[in-house]
Chain A
Amino acid sequence: MAVFIAWKMYLISCTLLNFRSRLERGFLIVAALFLCASSSCLSPARAQDELPLLEDMDWPSVETLLKADPFDWIVLKDQTVIVCQPLYPHPDTLQKMADELVELEQARGSNAAERADIAERKKRLKLLEVNLPDDNFLDYQLPVSQVDRVISFEDMMLREADALIDIDEISQAYELLMEVERMAPGWKQASPRFAKLLIKEAEINFESGNAFAAMALLDELAVRDKDSPQLAAMFGETIRSSVQLAVDVEDYDRARYFLNRLAKHFPQHPVIADWKKRLQSMVTVVFEQAEQYAQAGRHDDAAAAAAAANRIWPVNARRTSKDAQYVLWPMSGIQRAAYNKYVSRQQILRVAVRDFSRTDIVSPIPLEANERDRELTTVSLFAPSSADELTYFQSGFFDEWDPQDLGREVLFTLKTTRPYWQTHPILNANQIAEALGDQLDSSQSTFNPRLASFVSEFSVRSPTQLQIQFHRVPLSLEALFRFPVKGIPEDQQPAPKDAERQTLSTRFSVVEQDENHRKYRRIIPEPDGLNDRQYHVSDVEEIRFNDRHSEIQAFLRGNVDVLPHLLPWEIDIFKESGRAFVQQYAIPLNHLIVFNPSSPAVKSAQLRRALSVSVDRKSLLKNVILRDPEMKYGRVTSAPWHSGSYANSPLVEPPTYDHYLAFILRLAALEQLRIPDKQKFVADAKKKILEANEEWDEVVFRRDHAKELAAAVKHIQLPKLRMVCDPDELATTAAEKIVTRWQALGFDIELIPADQEGEKLPADGWDLMYRRVRMMEPLLDLWSVLLSDDQLDVNQLSAYPDWMRQELINLDYASSFADAQRKLFLIHRHMTAQAFLIPLWELDDFIAFQNNISGFEGRPLSVYHGVERWLVKP
């Protein structure tokens, strides 16, 4: 060792220090020898040690490799090893030096200086400069010719990584390889290890069932080194089995996804060809099956089969545009035509909903889900068709209905034919007369007091003509006859008198239902033999989602066709995206809070007004509901009907937010509650004083006993209010904010979600309700909103003051449109002044359709307005 050190020092002196004088050289030699001597003296054991043989070397552990300072092993010709600091160039030191030397051998230099430099460089390339560990000050030169090879630190890491990979220690191997990558970026020796590592890890993941992880690794490897030997095979195998698994569970989208993933790197991979062939054959089989169904008239099964085939092998460009980037899915024209035929014949409209219609909820009124269900399953004699200031109605049952004798008599002429797309049956005059009779029969549950107050008599003149005479002329005949026809189907007649009536005017019925799906189908299917383009929606499938995000995601993925309502901040996004048709409902949606007329807790006008003026409508609308400072799609309103309605009095302003006034009104309401007890207190006191023959002065008494009086009634507080809330997301949010504000004012309010499971709340089980209302005809619909009841029983108006009751009844006696408008203006004014309900705001409501949907109304009035004529293009 000492010799080595001495030799080393000499080298330093010769090379680095470049001492030129003899004296200097001599000094150095002496110093070196001294060092040798001293080193021999200081470390006699080491001095005697020989350089270790390679085979005796302990290969550094993973920890060492990761934590210790890097070092290299120089293996000399005699297979001894010098441990040194990392050499330069690094790694592959010898190879790189040799390469440079070869290069220098060919270089001549343009001048003497360069040639000297080349010579000098060549000379130095024959020496390996070495730094010993822990010795950063002295460099040694070792003739390259003495060196057998250099085992660099990275080599050691790769060797260790190999070992780790072999024993499936992937994470450590990965750590080592990453360290190698950090130390020697792009080192070609590392690449195979990486490949090996990725493949190994992919194998592990694949074997453990994590195909996606395996594919991710293989993807990574493909990006790094597509030609990695095992990659194609491994990738193929992974995809093959993954596709098989997906196909086994009929998840063809996933299967195609896998194939696409493989095709991204290996378009000609045999696995792809194999699966394409297999899938194609599956498609053929399914289409054959579909054809058999179609031949048998089982159009739903044929459509389902075609849809299944489409899932296996997409035929429509819309679905393949995104995911078929690498694998082309050629579809024959015949198959495409067959698919269109089957799917067009049995079109399925998928609608995203948050809930299905249910009867096991606490809501005292039908919710939107119930309305949707009602709209699909029943058809009223008259249904709204369009709206501006007024709502216009049309009938699917009557051809003409001309009021005669100045409206005292109407001759309804029934339709004898129906368009092929219409799904409700043709009814005859007797069936309608029977239903009308039930509406007018006070002993029936279907009794309609309001209708009964109008109709004088009716008669059936022929199977297609029904004549009705009126006591007084209804101003809106069509709105009055908005009821479905119920009766005994002809095939069940004759039937007992008390036999249960069935809805005869139907159009869709529920055919399938599970937790998240509900499918409605046409009662009367469209006839066979039409052109593909002449068929319309056959099935309406409502798909339930738990949150808005899922709904939107499903829509964007094409898994649903319709979003019945867009949230205000989504409207412009959808419009601008061009991915959907965004249609505005003809009538905005009014948000309001109604009071339960049967509830004594809200009888106080002060209380109602306090609740009303304490709602900061504008702020809530702007910040919570619309999230739009410009309030583009909503406005504060003063009525339960939309602001464009003819009933909307331009002189009535929305209630102004006034917190202070609300507080005062609340106190007033409270004091009003306490008055009886106070009076009793005073009366008792008066009685006592008079019995004691003392002089009674009530003013003085009240002044002197103010505290006692207050204490005596202190126990009387405003009752706790139970507010039912529409389950709509916006409504719930707004209701919570409103309740918070009310509670801050001292009101005790309980918020009850309307879709909460349970028995329907009894008449005295709630006090107020946050509702969303789309009022078609204020003249007739105001009652049901105010009373939260569709029975239209005059007795229920008893909760209102006489004058208000009279005004509401007078509405039915309006003799002209102008008269009706005048009366509604008056009611509007009084309703606002007395806070018979709390109008909040109206929101412009929008519905979104996929671009393949057509035939819908430009300005729909409800979710399924004219759904019979909608088309779902394949």
Chain B
Amino acid sequence: MPTEDYDDIEDDDIEELDELDDDVEEVDETEEDGGDAIVEKGRRQLRRGRLSEFSDKLSGGAARPGEKDVRKSPFVMIMAGGIIALTLVGLVFFIMILSKAEENAFAEAEAKFKEQSYPEAKGRLLDFLAAYPEGEYTERARILYHETKVLEITTGTSFTSESVSEALKELNDFISVCRDLEGFKDEHDDVRRYADRIVRVGALTAAGVRSRKIKPEQQPLDDSKTALAVMEKYAGPDGLPRSVKDEIRALQRKAQAAIDKAKVLTDALAEINGHLKADDTLAALESRQALIDQYDSLSDDADVAKILTTIMEQEKTLTKQEDLNTDAVTEDFPSSARVSASLTLRTQATVEQVSQGKLVFAVGLGSCYGIDSETGEPIWKRAVGRNPPFAPIAVDAAEPSLLIFHTDTNELLLLSQEQGDLLWRQHIPSRPSGPPLVFQQQVYLTTENGELWKISVSSGKAISRVVFNQPVVGSPAVTRDQKHMVIAGDQSLVYTLSISPLECVAVSYVEHRLGSVEAPILTTGKLMLMADNDSAEKTRLRVLEVNSGSGQVAVLASDVVDGQVRDSLLIRGRDLYVPSTPQRVTAFRVNDEPDADHLAKVGANQLEDAATAPIFLRAGPGGQLWMASEALRKFKVRTNTLELQSDSVAEGLHLQPIQMSDENFFVTTNEPYSSSIFYTKVEPQKMEDKWRTVIGTNVVSVGPAGNGESLVAVGDFGRVFRIPLQKIKSGGFIIDGLSTYRVPDGLEDAIGGLTLKDGRLAAYCGGEEPALWTFTTNGQLEQRWTLPGAPGVPPVSLAAGVVVAVPGRLHLTANSAGRVQDYRAAQSQGENQQASWKSLVALNDTQVLAINADNELIRVEYRTSPTHHLFEVSRTRMEQPVELAPAAAGDLLAVVTSDGKLMALSAATLEVLDEFDLGGVAMRSPFISADRIFVEVARRDLMVFARGASLQDPVTIPLNGTFLTGPPVAVKEGGFVACLSDGRVILLDADGNDSGKNVVLGQEAQKGPIRVGESLVVIGVDGSLYSVEDVLD
């Protein structure tokens, strides 16, 4: 039946009823006034209504006597009235009987409703409404009818997309039809309940029903969401309870996930499986992560979880364990016997230092040192290569020993602490990715190519290794029960290894981006901590729990610190300190109890105007914390702050972790102006330094002393040494300097050096106080010369002094004749337009050739008349770009061009005499020694040319990535001695051919060879002086 049949109520009918009511009132008034006067009757008649008219019709109205109709006689009238009355009574009874039937009919329908016999109830209610469209129970019946229709669907046990939509439609019908009915207000709860049912059913249906092979579908979810709106509308003034909302949202999310999953999962799973098939678990993880990133709801999807498990399992199988059983080598390097004298300046603050025979250990420029902890005096040193991956680690082997990695030979060394003797060395193909873990007399060392080595401390035997499918971060963390080790992969994964045997037992997915974890995982009681630099400004600290049975790692909690964590975290007791960029420390209180907050932040402190630099932390009792970064600073942990103490010590960039011995700190630093490395003992409570020893001296200028029996070397930290040849040959440490030159405070530019024409040495610096210091040939400081600006290129020496190129001009300094007027280059506009220089070369005692940025060769001469000045003699533009300083000797100027040519020019006219295609680009300026020109081509070859107008038929010697550390020295026996940067000193014949004779220093070289008297001296990278004339033997 159409709905409209029950809804239309005619307005006319209502009006009629109203009129009837009016008439009844008027009849009543007439009866009350019976027997009144005619006048009054007439008046009344005037205002009679239709009922009066009807009465008149019955009685005939006013009539004359005799003219009355019999039918209108009172008797007849009374009788007729009686009959009518009886009829009316009968009619009433009839109506009453009819009314009872409606009630019964409704009751029967309602009973069916209550019995939840919805189809039957629906029929009866429909009949009822048809029978009693305007009955007393019509409204109620109409409501029940709609409810029945809704319930008929929603109380079902199985649903389809259509049934959900139908239920929603019925509900909407119910609301639209019944909302104006009086009884609908009482149905609000039911409406909400019906909507709730539809919401849930819709969500469930949308999520799909696997048992009935119903696939996830969007429509039911949309219906569910629509129904949710209805539900919220009829939820009453307090709205829906939060728990209900969450529950529904979860259902809908699940449904949405199911729908999403249905949409993309298939493809994604196919892609992932493809990666897995190719053993590319990381790609599989990336695909999975991409899927989750796109559909967040899939993160807790069972299928996605399952595929993750599959990936983890596969990753686990890809993490190979290999038994090695490779014995260590116990023979020392052949070069270790070579004697050297090392420049290790030591300065002491007090006289109290008396040796107790205890050593501390540090790595400087290429060498590891054993240093007396009380006096700062070096006791032994051993070359270990530059840029070690970790600082020396003391271990207890058969004797107190030291673990160190030799970067030149890629070997892990165990040295005796006492004298630095080699106990064993084990080759490790790849560079360690962090310091090793020494645990239960085994060394666990991770490498940059994703290996974890297990090496016996006592024998150096490589026992086994685990090869990961990706690089791993730092040293492993041992779980509290000491059954497992946990190590973070470079990306996404955390590996759990059993300690014995060393093998991967579990791979866990702890989401992190490639390279975002830089600090090793830290054990914090029962838990572990991983710092993940998940953004440029913040780092996630993730509290991990390791399942003691399976080894699986789960993230328990997370916190955030500002900056990026690049250095190792530190825990002391319950105090956790997290270093982050730029020079910031955040302190936490750690609690590993199950119900506690695992990380409670105490406070953080960041240095003002701090630059990003390595941070090394050391904690002490009472909440004391020391941070070594650009200086050693002290913090104190207060109730809710981390206070920075005002004092700082050991200024300079800290290169290695803070060592501690006898309550003193030992730190390794260098200064911005210097390449040398300093090792400093600090009293941490008072923040006072006790001594400082240079453990790697960068020599900026070196030459023979005046007497020809000593070598004078100028260090880049303000000290000059004079070392007798005898000392160089006998070896040892030179801990005292000869003289001092004051390095300006706050200098950040590197200090350079040069040798003057007369053999004196000089050092220079830029910065805010540019200066040049000259030293006598005996090494005494002669004078400090103030420069007009920072030297842009290395200065050169003329007979009269040193020519320094500063922007826009050439300046002659260090001359005894007094002030010399500068040569000022052409200047276009303002200071910023001043000419800049590429290089300087001295052509002879009075002339210097300057090459400017415009590739012009400007010959400038020192003249004394009319005043002392620098005079531009000529200006020549080179066609080929010249970036490196030429070499000049006599009348020849050797120029290497950027397009790979060596050109021989006349020093007098700058005329090109000859040129030679080098076949590569020269990386450094050529050297001219005796009658040969030496050119290094791309660190590949050393080409030796005959010095003359013709540049043909050079001799080529392979360089293998090395370079010359100085001009080869011609020897009287004929030939040359050259030193290569890898520490090989080679003998060349007169033509420049490699004679095959060589001497190996055992470490890289920084300068040399230098002729001192009859000896040849080479300076190692750590500032050790080697006598190498035995190469001639």
Of residues 561 to 620 in B, which have CB atoms within 8 Å of A's CB atoms? 571-574, 589-592, 600, 620
Binary interface profile of A, 392-430, with partner B (CB < 8 Å = 1, else 0)? 111100011111011110000001111111000000000
B223 at the A/B interface (Cβ < 8 Å)? no
Given A418-B356, A473-B574, A818-B640, CB of A399 within 8 Å of CB of B661: yes
B685 at the A/B interface (Cβ < 8 Å)? yes
Tell me if A417 and B573 are in contact (CB < 8 A).
Answer: no
Which one of A26-34, A80-88, A382-390 is at the interface? A382-390
Tell me if A392 and B662 are in contact (CB < 8 A).
Answer: no
Tell me if A406 and B573 are in contact (CB < 8 A).
Answer: yes
CA–CA, A533 and B354, complex, Å: 12
Given A400-B660, A530-B354, CB of A405 within 8 Å of CB of B480: yes
Of residues 848 to 894 in B, which have CB atoms within 8 Å of A's CB atoms? none
Given A399-B661, A406-B525, A406-B590, CB of A390 within 8 Å of CB of B622: yes
Minimum Cβ distance to chain A for residue B623 (Å): 7
Of residues 727 to 756 in A, which have CB atoms within 8 Å of B's CB atoms? none
Of residues 644 to 695 in A, which have CB atoms within 8 Å of B's CB atoms? 646
Tell me if A392 and B624 are in contact (CB < 8 A).
Answer: yes
A251 at the A/B interface (Cβ < 8 Å)? no
Binary interface profile of B, 261-298, with partner A (CB < 8 Å = 1, else 0)? 00000000000000000000000000000000000000
B411 at the A/B interface (Cβ < 8 Å)? no
Closest to A416 in B: B358
Tell me if B356 and A817 are in contact (CB < 8 A).
Answer: no
CA–CA, A405 and B571, complex, Å: 9
Tell me if B352 and A390 are in contact (CB < 8 A).
Answer: no
Neighbouring B residues of A399 by C-beta, 8 Å? 660-663
Minimum Cβ distance to chain A for residue B232 (Å): 45
Neighbouring B residues of A417 by C-beta, 8 Å? 356-358, 662
Tell me if B662 and A389 are in contact (CB < 8 A).
Answer: no
Tell me if B525 and A817 are in contact (CB < 8 A).
Answer: no
Number of A-B contacts defined by CB within 8 Å = 84
Given A399-B661, A817-B637, A821-B639, CB of A393 within 8 Å of CB of B622: yes
B483 at the A/B interface (Cβ < 8 Å)? no
Neighbouring A residues of B660 by C-beta, 8 Å? 399-400
Closest to A385 in B: B685
Minimum Cβ distance to chain A for residue B855 (Å): 62
Report which of A407, A418, A421, A534 forms a contact with B573, defined as CB distance below 8 A.
Answer: A407
Given A402-B572, A407-B573, CB of A534 within 8 Å of CB of B354: yes
A66 at the A/B interface (Cβ < 8 Å)? no
A477 at the A/B interface (Cβ < 8 Å)? yes
Binary interface profile of A, 761-796, with partner B (CB < 8 Å = 1, else 0)? 000000000000000000000000000000000000
Neighbouring B residues of A408 by C-beta, 8 Å? 525
Neighbouring B residues of A181 by C-beta, 8 Å? none
B71 at the A/B interface (Cβ < 8 Å)? no
Neighbouring B residues of A415 by C-beta, 8 Å? 662
Binary interface profile of A, 469-480, with partner B (CB < 8 Å = 1, else 0)? 000010011100
Neighbouring A residues of B352 by C-beta, 8 Å? 421, 534, 869
Closest to A389 in B: B638
Minimum Cβ distance to chain A for residue B319 (Å): 28
Tell me if B662 and A405 are in contact (CB < 8 A).
Answer: no
Report which of A394, A403, A476, A821 forms a contact with B663, defined as CB distance below 8 A.
Answer: A394
Neighbouring A residues of B982 by C-beta, 8 Å? none
Minimum Cβ distance to chain B for residue A421 (Å): 7
B524 at the A/B interface (Cβ < 8 Å)? yes
B621 at the A/B interface (Cβ < 8 Å)? yes
Tell me if A473 and B573 are in contact (CB < 8 A).
Answer: yes
CA–CA, A124 and B620, complex, Å: 108
Which of B524, B622, B636 has the most CB atoms of chain A within a 10 A radius of its CB? B622
Size of A's binding interface in residues, CB under 8 A? 42
Tell me if B572 and A403 are in contact (CB < 8 A).
Answer: yes
Neighbouring A residues of B592 by C-beta, 8 Å? 406
Of residues 223 to 246 in B, which have CB atoms within 8 Å of A's CB atoms? none
A493 at the A/B interface (Cβ < 8 Å)? no
Interface secondary structure of B, over-half rule:
loop
A320 at the A/B interface (Cβ < 8 Å)? no
Closest to A419 in B: B356
Given A473-B573, A534-B352, CB of A393 within 8 Å of CB of B525: no
B351 at the A/B interface (Cβ < 8 Å)? yes
Given A392-B622, A393-B621, A533-B351, CB of A646 within 8 Å of CB of B357: no
B139 at the A/B interface (Cβ < 8 Å)? no
B374 at the A/B interface (Cβ < 8 Å)? yes
Of residues 300 to 328 in B, which have CB atoms within 8 Å of A's CB atoms? none
Report which of A391, A393, A534, A646 forms a contact with B639, defined as CB distance below 8 A.
Answer: A646
A816 at the A/B interface (Cβ < 8 Å)? yes
Minimum Cβ distance to chain B for residue A648 (Å): 13
Minimum Cβ distance to chain A for residue B928 (Å): 53
Binary interface profile of A, 852-870, with partner B (CB < 8 Å = 1, else 0)? 0000000000000000010
Neighbouring B residues of A394 by C-beta, 8 Å? 663, 685
Report which of A406, A477, A534 forms a contact with B351, defined as CB distance below 8 A.
Answer: A534
CA–CA, A64 and B572, complex, Å: 101
CA–CA, A401 and B590, complex, Å: 19
Tell me if B356 and A386 are in contact (CB < 8 A).
Answer: no
Minimum Cβ distance to chain B for residue A383 (Å): 12
Tell me if B621 and A478 are in contact (CB < 8 A).
Answer: yes
A531 at the A/B interface (Cβ < 8 Å)? yes
CA–CA, A416 and B661, complex, Å: 11
Neighbouring A residues of B638 by C-beta, 8 Å? 389, 646, 817
Tell me if B661 and A477 are in contact (CB < 8 A).
Answer: no
Neighbouring A residues of B525 by C-beta, 8 Å? 405-406, 408
Neighbouring A residues of B573 by C-beta, 8 Å? 403, 406-407, 473, 477
CA–CA, A406 and B589, complex, Å: 10
CA–CA, A54 and B374, complex, Å: 99
Tell me if B356 and A420 are in contact (CB < 8 A).
Answer: yes
Closest to A421 in B: B352
Report which of B357, B374, B624, B639 forms a contact with A817, defined as CB distance below 8 A.
Answer: B639
Neighbouring B residues of A388 by C-beta, 8 Å? 636
Neighbouring A residues of B374 by C-beta, 8 Å? 419
Tell me if A406 and B621 are in contact (CB < 8 A).
Answer: no
Neighbouring B residues of A534 by C-beta, 8 Å? 351-352, 354
Tell me if B354 and A420 are in contact (CB < 8 A).
Answer: yes
Neighbouring B residues of A386 by C-beta, 8 Å? 685
Closest to A400 in B: B660
CA–CA, A533 and B348, complex, Å: 14
Closest to A857 in B: B686
Neighbouring A residues of B589 by C-beta, 8 Å? 816
Closest to B356 in A: A417
Tell me if A392 and B351 are in contact (CB < 8 A).
Answer: no
Tell me if A478 and B622 are in contact (CB < 8 A).
Answer: yes
Given A400-B660, A406-B573, CB of A390 within 8 Å of CB of B354: no
Binary interface profile of B, 913-930, with partner A (CB < 8 Å = 1, else 0)? 000000000000000000
Closest to A407 in B: B573
CA–CA, A395 and B622, complex, Å: 13
Binary interface profile of B, 630-644, with partner A (CB < 8 Å = 1, else 0)? 000000111110000
Minimum Cβ distance to chain A for residue B395 (Å): 13
Report which of B354, B574, B637, B661 forms a contact with A407, defined as CB distance below 8 A.
Answer: B574
- Show the binding face of B for A, using Cβ within 8 Å: 351-352, 354, 356-358, 374, 480, 524-525, 571-574, 589-592, 600, 620-624, 636-640, 660-663, 685
29 examples of A-B residue contacts, CB within 8 angstroms: A386-B685, A390-B622, A390-B623, A391-B622, A393-B621, A393-B622, A399-B663, A402-B572, A405-B480, A405-B525, A406-B525, A406-B571, A406-B573, A407-B573, A407-B574, A417-B356, A417-B358, A419-B354, A420-B356, A473-B573, A476-B621, A530-B354, A534-B351, A646-B638, A816-B574, A817-B637, A817-B639, A818-B639, A818-B640
Q: Besides A394-B663, A419-B356, A476-B621, 16 other CB < 8 A contacts?
A: A390-B622, A392-B620, A392-B621, A392-B624, A401-B621, A403-B572, A405-B480, A406-B525, A418-B356, A419-B662, A420-B354, A533-B351, A534-B354, A646-B639, A815-B574, A818-B640
6 A-B pairs with least C-beta separation: A407-B573, A403-B573, A406-B525, A417-B356, A417-B358, A392-B622
